[in-house]
């Protein structure tokens, strides 16, 4: 549930969700004969087999994208569209997404007699002033009849994601935005299985579980429209995979999406710190969180959708970022099914290129399933390397490395660390 561009929100007077890195007032026209969207294609570069990506959605970050040719995905704020051409020039296969808020619109002062359904480049799928004038019923309310806003972003008005006219208008605006600015698809934020943002149990129209069912309907409608117009549908989907109905709803949404993202993938805490901790061995309903997450990741991929996880750095950037990058990508690789299209994404909190061999190293494709070793380590062998992960809060864990890697012999991993090891 990532907010839209934290620094921009601060500049608007906001306090600036869970979560590495484009105006129509009518219904969608019948789609032209667009090709089925795909993540493959011809062209030079390295993203065809890349399983890393970059998220760059804060003010100024797009000027520090670095070498984007290495990334499968780059996610930008919609107003950063001027960078799309350079990213495509660096590697035509890199897929570039425009960030759009799905479940809220931004409260603003309205002027003019005929507000458009969409305000270009503002990163919200529906213009607040248009909804106020023409569709006041789209705003969700509490039991007292008051319009709801996110409690952590008080100028984000909560919209009725289950309303079919809202869904179709949002989809029309998203298609127009992506087509106008050359994006490959839309990164849909706040696609949540429950409301979140301090409004759980506060919506008069939906309880938390029926909200998730309404979101399934939106994802089905929007995902279908994006894909029918040759665009990729990518959702930042919030779900607690240890809660049965949230997991079920997430999998139902995944069936309508090109890719599903999990924010704060391997590290809990606020965006840009402070953090609480990485996944550890404290049991959730009798199962270690690592096992719960890996099972969920595999289930998402089994629907046919690709899977990504995003972690955030510290502010300012510190050496801890390297540890997070390595741990998060190792975690991702333990569950990856090997198909080109899934990726681990790291987003730095400073204006720096996050590329670092500790997490971008290419280990090839999986040679077998991940193993949970008797001493607590997780291990997986790849065609070009090996992944080891120690999720323990407190214990260092030791294992012996086989020959054929750039290191050999006994190795000890400190608590909550990982190693991505290349073949020799």
What CATH number corresponds to the domain at position 399? 2.60.40
Mean pLDDT computed over 218-231: 97
Q: Whole-angstrom Cα distance, residue 39 to residue 338? A: 14
pLDDT tens track for 62-116: 878 888 998 899 999 999 999 999 999 999 999 999 999 999 999 999 988 999 9
One domain, residues 295 and 421 = no
Model pLDDT, residue 317: 64
Please give the structure tokens belonging to residue 312.
Answer: 């955030």
Model pLDDT, residue 209: 97
3-state SS, residue 21: coil
One domain, residues 202 and 183 = yes
Which one has a higher pLDDT value, 240 or 357?
240
One domain, residues 349 and 404 = no
One domain, residues 368 and 351 = no
Chain centroid offset of residue 18 CA: 9
Q: Whole-angstrom Cα distance, residue 210 to residue 201? A: 11
Classify 282 in phi/psi space as left (phi over 0), alpha (psi -120 to 50) or beta. beta
One domain, residues 395 and 306 = no
Model pLDDT, residue 353: 74
Mean pLDDT computed over 221-245: 96
**Where does the pLDDT of residue 36 fall: very low under 50, low under 70, confident under 90, or very high at 90 and above?**
very low
Model pLDDT, residue 314: 78
One domain, residues 199 and 317 = yes
Model pLDDT, residue 410: 94
% of the chain exceeding 70 in pLDDT: 84
**Where does the pLDDT of residue 41 fall: very low under 50, low under 70, confident under 90, or very high at 90 and above?**
very low
> Considering only CA atoms, which of 293, 294, 211 is closest in space to residue 253?
211
One domain, residues 127 and 221 = yes
Residue 304 lies in a domain: yes
**Where does the pLDDT of residue 30 fall: very low under 50, low under 70, confident under 90, or very high at 90 and above?**
very low
Indicate if the pLDDT at residue 233 is higher than 90: yes
Model pLDDT, residue 276: 66
**Where does the pLDDT of residue 35 fall: very low under 50, low under 70, confident under 90, or very high at 90 and above?**
very low
Give the number of residues written for the chain. 424
Q: Which of 339, 360, 381 is the last residue of a domain?
A: 360
Indicate if the pLDDT at residue 352 is higher than 90: no
Indicate if the pLDDT at residue 124 is higher than 60: yes
> Considering only CA atoms, which of 153, 178, 171, 219 is closest in space to residue 3?
153
Determine contact, residues 74/87, Cβ cutoff 8 Å: yes
One domain, residues 142 and 241 = yes
Which one has a higher pLDDT value, 27 or 155?
155
Give the range of the structural domain holding residue 418, as residue numbers without chain letter: 363-424
Count up the domains in the chain and report the number: 2
Mean pLDDT computed over 237-249: 95
Residue 33 lies in a domain: yes
Model pLDDT, residue 80: 95
Mean pLDDT computed over 131-157: 97
Residue 410 lies in a domain: yes
Model pLDDT, residue 231: 98
Which one has a higher pLDDT value, 224 or 267?
224
Model pLDDT, residue 281: 64
Model pLDDT, residue 5: 38
| pLDDT mean across residues, the chain | 85
Indicate if the pLDDT at residue 177 is higher than 60: yes
Please give the structure tokens belonging to residue 55.
Answer: 């998220």
Please report, for the domain that includes residue 343, its CATH number: 3.20.20.80
Model pLDDT, residue 4: 38
Indicate if the pLDDT at residue 148 is higher than 50: yes
One domain, residues 247 and 327 = yes
% of the chain exceeding 90 in pLDDT: 66
Model pLDDT, residue 49: 60
One domain, residues 299 and 387 = no
Indicate if the pLDDT at residue 131 is higher than 90: yes
Model pLDDT, residue 58: 79
Residue 1 lies in a domain: no
Model pLDDT, residue 320: 76
Indicate if the pLDDT at residue 248 is higher than 60: yes
Determine contact, residues 97/234, Cβ cutoff 8 Å: yes
One domain, residues 71 and 142 = yes
Indicate if the pLDDT at residue 283 is higher than 80: no
Non-local (6+) Cβ contacts of 210 within 8 A are none
3-state SS, residue 212: helix
Indicate if the pLDDT at residue 6 is higher than 50: no
């Amino acid at each position: 549930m990532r907010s839209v561009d934290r620094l921009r929100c601060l500049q608007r007077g906001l306090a600036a969700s869970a979560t590495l890195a484009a105006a129509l007032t009518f219904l969608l026209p019948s789609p032209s004969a667009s090709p089925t969207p795909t993540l493959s294609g011809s062209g030079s570069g390295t993203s065809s087999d890349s399983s890393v990506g970059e998220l760059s959605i804060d003010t100024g970050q797009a000027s520090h994208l670095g070498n984007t040719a290495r990334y499968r995905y780059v996610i930008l704020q919609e107003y950063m569209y001027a960078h799309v051409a350079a990213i495509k020039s660096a590697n035509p296969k890199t897929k570039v997404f425009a960030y759009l808020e799905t479940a809220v619109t931004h409260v603003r002062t309205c002027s003019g007699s005929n507000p458009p359904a969409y305000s270009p480049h503002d990163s919200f799928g529906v213009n607040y002033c248009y909804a106020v004038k023409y569709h006041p019923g789209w705003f969700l309310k509490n039991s007292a009849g008051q319009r709801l806003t996110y409690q952590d972003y008080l100028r984000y008005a909560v919209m009725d994601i289950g309303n079919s006219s809202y869904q179709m208008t949002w989809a029309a605006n998203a298609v127009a935005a992506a087509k106008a600015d050359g994006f490959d698809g839309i990164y849909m934020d706040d696609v949540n299985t429950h409301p979140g943002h301090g409004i759980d149990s506060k919506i008069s129209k939906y309880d938390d579980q029926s909200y998730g069912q309404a979101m399934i309907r939106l994802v089905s409608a929007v995902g279908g429209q994006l894909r029918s117009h040759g665009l990729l549908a990518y959702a930042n989907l919030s779900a607690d995979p240890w809660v049965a109905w949230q997991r079920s709803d997430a999998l139902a949404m995944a069936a309508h999406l090109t890719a599903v993202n999990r924010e704060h993938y391997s590290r809990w805490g606020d965006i840009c710190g402070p953090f609480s901790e990485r996944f550890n061995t404290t049991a959730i309903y009798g199962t270690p969180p690592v096992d719960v997450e890996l099972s969920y990741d595999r289930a998402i991929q089994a629907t046919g959708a690709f899977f990504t996880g995003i972690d955030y750095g510290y502010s300012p950037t510190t050496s801890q970022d390297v540890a997070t990058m390595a741990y998060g990508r190792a975690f991702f690789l333990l569950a990856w099914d090997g198909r080109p299209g899934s990726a681990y994404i790291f987003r730095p909190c400073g204006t720096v290129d996050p590329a670092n061999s500790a997490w971008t190293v290419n280990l090839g494709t999986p040679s077998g399933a991940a193993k949970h070793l008797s001493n607590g380590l997780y291990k997986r062998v790849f065609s070009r390397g090996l992944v080891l992960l120690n999720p323990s809060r407190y214990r260092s864990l030791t294992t012996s490395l086989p020959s054929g890697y750039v290191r050999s012999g006994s190795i000890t991993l400190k608590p909550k660390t990982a190693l991505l090891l290349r073949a020799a």
